[in-house]
Every structure is written in C-alpha cells, then in structure tokens.
Amino acid sequence: MTDTTQLPNPPASDGRSFDELPLSPGMKANLKQLGYLTMTPVQQASLPVTLARHDLIAQAKTGSGKTAAFAIPLLTKLNPRRFAVQAMVLCPTRELADQVTQEIRRLARAADNIKVLTLCGGSTMRPQMASLEHGAHIVVGTPGRIMDHLDRGSLNLEALETLVLDEADRMLDMGFYDSIAYVARHCPANRQTLLFSATFPDGIARLARQFMRNPQQIELTEQHEPHKIRQRFYEVSREEKLQAVGRLLRHYRPQSTLAFCNTKQQCRALLEALHAQGIYALTLNGDMEQRERDQVLIQFANRSCSVLVATDVAARGLDIEQLEAVVNVDVTPDPEVHVHRIGRTGRADSDGWAFSLVLPTDRHRIVSIAKMTGSVPEWHQMDELKDEDDAPLLPAMVTLQILGGRKEKIRAGDVLGALTGDAGYTREQVGKINVTEFSTYVAVRREIAAEAVRRLSAGKVKGKSVKVRAM
Ligand code: ADP
Ligand code: MG
C-alpha cells in the first residue's frame, strides 16, 4: 500500500468547519443542528478524498468520528428518488451495525425519506427480505447475513455506488475474510470502496489489493493530550493481581471503569474476584447471546454497573461515553493496543485514569510502551492505596427491567410518565431509559429502586399493568 500520509492529530480547537466542503446546504445545516461544528481529524483528512470519489483506507482510533467520515460521502452521492441499494456498510457485529445505522439516520435527516436497513444475523430472514422488497437506499449489516441475502437473491447490488468496510481489522479477527471477499465480488466493479480500521494487520493489505482501486491511505497517529490521561503503573505479583483491581477501584472510586484482560478466562476470574469483594461488575464476551450483551451495555451506559470487564476484541468499537478509568489488568504485549485501550478514557473535557498492573515478567512491555509514546512511566506501589472496605463501592443507579418493549408499543415517555406521575418520583431520580424489542430498561437512583419496583408493579404503564424487576 502506497500513498501514506502521516497526519498528527491537530488539537481540537484547530478543527476546520464542514462549511469548507462541497456539501448541500441541507447537510451543512443538519450537521450544525447535530452539534458537529468542526471536523474531527479523520474527517478533515478523509472527506476531501472521499467526496472526490477516491477509494480510501483510513486508520483511526475508536471514537474519532469514522462513521460520519464515510456516511457523509455516501449520502452525498445518494439519489433518494432511485429505489435501489446504493450504499452498503459491512460491520463485524449487530451492535456496531445498529450504531452505524443510527448515525447514518441522524446524518440523513436533511434529505427526504432515505431508507436505511440493518441486516444482521440473530433476526429472522423473512422480515428482512420483506423490507428489502419495499426498497432500501442503504444497507448496513454483518458479512455473513449479507452473504445469505445474496445467495437467496433477496439483495440486489447492481446499483451500488459505495461499499464501506467498517472496523475491518475486527472483521478479519472474526474470520470474515472470505465472506467479505464473496460480498465484494457481488458489487459492481466501478463502485467506490472505503475501508476503516483501528489497526493494520496483514489481511487489510490483501483486501485492499484485491478489492480496492488505488486507495489513498491516511493514518491518524494517536496522540493523547498528556494531562488528560493520568497513567500509573503498579508492579504486582501474579497472586495479588486480581485483588489489586478491587483495591484500585476502592481507592480511586471511579464511576465507570473498563478493565481489560488478555483472555476470556482472566475476565471470568476477575469477575469472580470482584464479586467476592462486593463490587458489581459485568463482562462482555463473544459467547454471549445478543440479549445478554445488550443488557450489559445498557447497565454500563446508564450507570447502574460501574465496572465492565472485557478483552480487546469484545470491547472494540464500543462507543462508551464518560469512562473515568481504564485498568490494564493484563498489560498487552502490543504497545499500540495499550495506547488504544487507554485512549478510551480522558475524552472530551473530562480527565481520565489509566492504571496498569504489571507482573515483574511484563516490565519489558512497559519499556516498549514508554519508547513508543515517548513518555516516562510513573511507577507506584500498591501499599500507597488505602484499603478500607467500610464504604462499599455501589453504582449510583439501579436498572429496572420492565417486561414489554417496542412490540407492546411502549415508549420512553410512557415509563418516565409512570414514574413521575402516579409513582410520584422526580425527573432527577430517573436516569436513562432504553426500550428494546421485548423489554424496557430504566435506571433509577439506588435509594428508590426497591420502592420503585413496587410502585410500578402496582400501577400501570401505558394503561396496562406490567411485570417489573430490579436487575
Ligand atoms: P468511530 O467510528 O471512529 O469509533 P463514531 O463515528 O462512532 O467514531 O463517533 C464517535 C462520536 O463522535 C459519536 O457520538 C458521533 O456522534 C460524534 N461525532 C462524530 N463526528 C463529530 C463531529 N465532527 N463533531 C462532534 N461530534 C462528532
Ligand atoms: Mg466506528
């Protein structure tokens, strides 16, 4: 791959306005409404290239605004009056496909009636086929399911103008090379292909050679603002490591923490150790059913679980706001992955903590990290941490699950209405509300949780009695 442009991340204040780009007045107005006032670095580097219809390979970290970087050019090219699939985005998981679909819908608000359809496994084929028959302009999905639709002839790609491979490295990790190749071969040759990735493993170059035409390549080197992420390294023995995570959490008391382990087994062991110490933590892994994953992410995002334990693969691509701390329970052998992990905290205008638990045999990994980031590691001792377990570490909120969701036409407003109306609570005692297909999840202040379950069960939501439980 040639044409590499190394672009340092400009400071946020240096971002240029979307007004410089050849976009429709409607798109520009919508971006302003969404609060997208300046371009992020990856958008600034890629949009001039992609709007000129060149193929592009872009490497940038999670949370850097890659979705808009491909959604804006594909929407610009789209003809809403043509009822055919004109753009397709391949994503590794349903979760990511849902996130991308939502972002595309937000960005498409200015144009009339653009249909975006999500096609992923885990849902039945038939309704997807019916939706395709009704016509979609944009399809977002996982490679396996898209392949199924191509096989059955329910998805026609003759009018496709733009193919996007999002989180390409993760799709390769998950063994999707052949499915991607199969799908790409079904796309018209004169399409534009855009590939987004957080890292560049070998498979990416192979994909690019086979399926892209003279792609331009941009790479946004990660440079965290040093004062925003406070990084501390603790040397621990193998025996004390899992205990050490609990001690760190009790000492620093972060509201929300992502704890990285290198293996699934370690994730399980840590979860057990934390539970034994009375710390409510949840984990994400590839073996979980979609519904379980959704429940975990909802509880983490609505602040009723303050610790999420995950491997790099399981955490990739999750757009988690306001992460106060990252704990490297196992130091990763790859310095680039380390930088990526800790970049999850210290976003926007909040500071973040990054703690690493280092075995004596892993000290050399810290040397490589320091070399790569040009920083001097700050070493600390475990015994600097106070270790009183008097004040328990409880999340501020508790999630209540209400049986009944979109299928029962429940909306967030109905639940908020029930809680602030008949049940007599204030708006401030109620947190995020997520309505899924069959369930509704509402976060409430911990102090009122038990009573809120009783009052909701005794009352009505949308005129009906409901089953409610605290999670
Ligand atoms: P990535 O795909 O690189 O992980 P996303 O596309 O999910 O990142 O974007 C991360 C967040 O940043 C989203 O919440 C998105 O709405 C927001 N965002 C993207 N571009 C801008 C922008 N130019 N200005 C403000 N917010 C933005
Ligand atoms: Mg993304």
* pLDDT tens sequence across 184-227: 999 999 999 999 998 888 889 999 999 999 999 998 865 555 55
Going along the chain from its start, the domains and CATH numbers come out as: 5-219 (3.40.50.300), 226-384 (3.40.50.300), 397-470 (3.30.70.330)
Alpha-carbon distances, residue 67 vs 47, 106, 215 (angstroms) = 12, 11, 18
> CA-CA distances (angstroms) from residue 62 to 14, 310, 360?
20, 16, 30
* Alpha-carbon distances, residue 96 vs 99, 140, 318, 322 (angstroms): 5, 10, 8, 19
What is the predicted pLDDT for the residue at 388? 64
CA of 95 to the centre of ligand 2 (A): 11
Neighbours of 85 (CB within 10 A): 21
62 C-alpha to ligand 1 centroid (Å): 9
> Cβ(313)–Cβ(243) under 8 Å?
no
* 86-134 per-position pLDDT tens digit: 999 999 999 899 999 999 999 999 887 899 999 999 888 999 999 999 9
Mean pLDDT of the chain, nearest integer: 89
Mean pLDDT within 249-267:
93
* Minimum-distance ligand 1 atom for the alpha carbon of 167: 2
At 9 the pLDDT is 38
Is the distance from the beta carbon of residue 66 to the nearest atom of ligand 1 less than 6 Å?
yes
Residue located nearest, by CA, to atom 20 of ligand 1: 65
Q: Which contacts of 107-112 are long-range, i.e. CB under 8 A and separated by 24 or more positions?
A: 107/27, 107/30, 107/31, 107/34, 107/68, 107/71, 107/72, 107/75, 108/71, 108/75, 108/138, 109/30, 109/33, 110/24, 110/26, 110/27, 110/29, 110/30, 111/26, 111/27, 111/75, 111/78, 111/80, 112/80
Longest alpha-carbon distance in the chain: 67
Rounded Cα–Cα distance for residues 15 and 196 (Å)? 21
Ligand nearest to the CA of 92: 2
- Quick check: 288 pLDDT over 90? no
Q: How far is the CA of 58 from the centre of ligand 1 (A)?
A: 15
Residue % of the chain over a pLDDT of 90? 68
What is the reported pLDDT for 372?
81
Cβ of 102 less than 6 Å from ligand 1: no
| Secondary structure of residue 349 in the 3-state scheme | coil
CA of 39 to the centre of ligand 1 (A): 10
Mean pLDDT confidence for 373-382? 86
Pocket lining: 170 vs ligand 1, CB cutoff 6 Å: no
Q: What backbone torsions phi and psi does residue 394 show, to the nearest 5 degrees?
A: -110, 140
Q: Who wins on pLDDT, 392 or 175? A: 175
Quick one: pLDDT at residue 12?
A: 42
CA 168–ligand 2 middle distance (angstroms): 10
Which of the pair, 71 or 288, is modelled with greater confidence?
Answer: 71
Ligand 1 pocket check for 15: Cβ under 6 Å: no
Pair of tokens at residue 66? 């890659």
285 band by pLDDT with thresholds 50, 70 and 90: confident
Mean pLDDT (whole number) for 74-78:
96
d(CA 256, CA 14): 30
DSSP 8-class letter at 464: B
- Average pLDDT, integer, range 40-47: 93
d(CA 188, CA 421): 56
Ligand 1 atom nearest 61 alpha carbon: 3
* Atom of ligand 1 lying closest to residue 18 CA: 23
What backbone torsions phi and psi does residue 190 show, to the nearest 5 degrees?
-90, 25
